[in-house]
Amino acid sequence: RQILVKLLDGKHRIMNFYDSAVTGADLKKRIESLTFIPSGEQLLLIDSSKVLHDHQVLILPPSGKKPEEITLGCNFQLPRDKGFPDDESVIERDVLSNFPVVVHLLLRLRGGKGGFGSLLRGAATKAGHKKTNNFDACRDMNGRRLRHVNAEKKLEEWRAGAEERKLEKVAEDFLKKKSKEAVKIGKTAGVDSAEKYVAKYRADSEKCREVVEKAIRDSVK
């Protein structure tokens, strides 16, 4: 009894089974031994659309059987809290229309909450709605919000410029120091020039006073 499995690379591999009943879990184990893909990461499809769950049993016909004799059923009923709907516990016989049995191997992907598509479509049709350029609340391929990624980039840039900022601080302090020294020297020079002017003024005043006194004495005589 054979099952034709289409792998991720698009190639088909034939798997032989001695038992006529093969569960989805058993088939995943065989695929895991062949591809080294863990069973929990595998997603098997029958007829490219029906999911083959671990609890379901694939009834394989012996060699020479017709395609309509292939059946896919379930050997037990799952509880309702397992997450499988009742109509998927048994797949009808006419699902497998081709012979041999072909199973497609896919990988399970982590899903998100969903439900935002309708909100985005509704927001785009609002009258007077402005396009946003703020995508900080969005996430990247690693699941991190863009605001956190951008903040980390800015922090790295700030750390990279620490040495440059240190040199700028030293240069700024040096310029401030030189400026204070220049102001201090200017004030000292101003005081010295004022004292010289006052001394000259006093000397000239004294000479003028002496000349006036001499002139008065000469006139009295």
DSSP 139: B
CB 22 within 8 A of CB 46: no
Q: Is the bond preceding 100 in cis, omega lying within 30 degrees of 0?
A: yes
DSSP 159: H
Which of 32, 51, 33 shows the shortest CA–CA distance to 41?
A: 32
Q: Walk across the sheet containing 71-74 and list its strands.
A: 21-23, 56-59, 71-74
Instruction: Report the DSSP pairing between strands 42-46 and 101-107.
Output: antiparallel
Residue-level pLDDT at 29: 93
Strands, E assignment, the chain: 2-6, 12-16, 21-23, 42-46, 50-52, 56-59, 71-74, 101-107
What six digits make up the tokens of 34? 């062949």
Separation of alpha carbons 4 and 45, rounded Å: 12
Residue-level pLDDT at 77: 39
Fold of the domain spanning 2-107:
Ubiquitin-like (UB roll) (3.10.20)
DSSP 138: S
pLDDT tens over the chain, length 221 residues: 788 899 998 899 988 888 888 888 999 999 999 999 999 999 999 877 788 888 888 887 665 554 443 344 444 333 344 444 444 444 433 444 446 788 999 998 777 666 677 777 766 666 666 677 788 888 888 888 999 999 999 998 888 888 888 888 888 888 888 777 777 766 665 556 667 777 777 788 788 878 777 777 777 66
Ordered by start, the domain boundaries in the chain are 2-107
